[in-house]
Amino acid sequence: MESSQGTVSQFTSNTIEVGTEQRIFNAALEVFSRKGKDGARMQEIADCAGINRALLHYYFRSKNKLYEAVFAHGFEQFINGLSQSLRSERSFESSLRTFVHGYMDYLCEHQDMARLMITECLSGGPVLESYLATAIAKREKLPGFLMEDRIRQAIEVGEIREVDSEHAMLTIVSACLFPFVALPTVRLFQPKAATDFEEFIAERKQHIVELILSGLRIP
Amino acid sequence: MESSQGTVSQFTSNTIEVGTEQRIFNAALEVFSRKGKDGARMQEIADCAGINRALLHYYFRSKNKLYEAVFAHGFEQFINGLSQSLRSERSFESSLRTFVHGYMDYLCEHQDMARLMITECLSGGPVLESYLATAIAKREKLPGFLMEDRIRQAIEVGEIREVDSEHAMLTIVSACLFPFVALPTVRLFQPKAATDFEEFIAERKQHIVELILSGLRIP
DNA sequence: GTCTATATCTCGATAGAC
DNA sequence: GTCTATCGAGATATAGAC
Subset of residues 43-102 in chain A with CB less than 7 angstroms from any atom in strand D: 43, 53-54, 57, 61-64
State residue A198's pLDDT score: 96
Could you say which nucleotides of strand C lie within 7 A of any protein CB atom? 1-5, 10-16
Q: A7 burial class (0-12, 13-18, 19+ CB within 10 angstroms)?
A: middle
Selecting from 1.10.10.60, 1.10.240.10, 3.10.560.10, 2.30.30.90, what CATH number does the domain B17-60 have? 1.10.10.60
Q: Does domain B70-216 have CATH number 1.10.357.10?
A: yes
d(CA B44, CA B51): 10
Where in chain B do CATH 1.10.10.60 domains reside?
17-60
Alpha helices in B7-125 (DSSP H): 20-39, 42-49, 53-59, 63-87, 92-109, 111-122
What pLDDT, in 10s, does the model give residues A97-155?
999 999 999 999 999 988 998 888 888 877 888 888 888 887 767 888 889 999 999 99
Q: Which of A210, A92, A214 is nearest to A154 (CA)?
A: A92
Q: How far is CA B185 from CA A118, A150, A206, in A?
A: 10, 21, 27
Q: CB of A147 within 8 A of CB of A169? A: yes
Q: Would you place residue A48 in the very low, low, confident or very high pLDDT band (cuts 50, 70, 90)?
A: very high
From-to residues of CATH 1.10.357.10 in chain B: 70-216
Separation CA A187–CA A205 (nearest Å): 17
Whether B184 has a pLDDT exceeding 70, the answer reads yes
CATH architecture, range A2-216 = Orthogonal Bundle (1.10)
Rounded mean pLDDT, A192-202: 96
Q: B66 CA to chain A: closest CA distance, Å?
A: 17
Cα distance between residue B195 and residue B202, in whole Å? 14
Q: Choose among B60, B180, B45: nearest CA to B113.
A: B180
Q: Is A205 on the interface with B (CB under 8 A)?
A: no
Which residue's C-alpha is at the least distance from the C1' of C5? A54
How far is residue A213's CA from residue A97's CA, in Å, rounded to a whole number? 9
Q: What is the pLDDT of residues B58-92, one digit of tens each?
A: 999 999 999 999 999 988 887 776 676 677 778 99
Q: Which nucleotide is nearest to B20 (CA to C1')?
A: D1
> Count of alpha carbons within 13 Å of B89, Cβ hemisphere only?
22
